[in-house]
Amino acid sequence: MFRKIVCVLVLISLALVLFVCPNCRSCRRGDEEFSVALILGPGGKDDKSYNAMVWNGANRAAQEFGLIIDEFMVMNEKEGLDALYKCVKGDYDMVIVAPRFLNQYIGAVAGDNTGIDFLIFDSEVRAENVFSCIFD
């Protein structure tokens, strides 16, 4: 049940960014494809846990909305920060960050890159371009 909830949350978040957000870059880019980076933590997309749920939700959204999703696998904070900066330099429209150990860095990275939307889990970052999914 929890797995389905996370998948639905990822779908809803991507749908909001794609169709509702008045400031998102996809609204200003015309016919170009919307590109998404997905950063997964230790265990990867087949861990039958949190990463897998986020990966399944993102891939379902990719199929339904015709998105391009590039995956980055990180094992620790250093690799995670490297992946965040690669995503910023890679000109992605949205970066989905699954590992909670990166949430502390999202505020600074998002503040310096207001043209990119970020989706994070289990943490709240107050920034216009950060969408936080918090589980109670």
Q: Give tens-digit pLDDT for 49-73.
A: 778 888 888 888 888 888 889 999 9
Residue 102 tokens, joined: 């990166």
The string of pLDDT tens digits covering residues 76-99 is: 999 999 999 999 999 899 999 999
Structural domain span for residue 17: 2-133
Nearest-Å Rg of the Cα atoms of the chain is 14
Query: Looking at the 3D structure of the chain, how many domains does it have?
Result: 1
CATH number of the domain where residue 33 is located = 3.40.50.2300
pTM over 0.75? The answer is yes
Residue predicted with more confidence, 123 or 32: 123
By three-state DSSP, how is residue 101 classified? helix
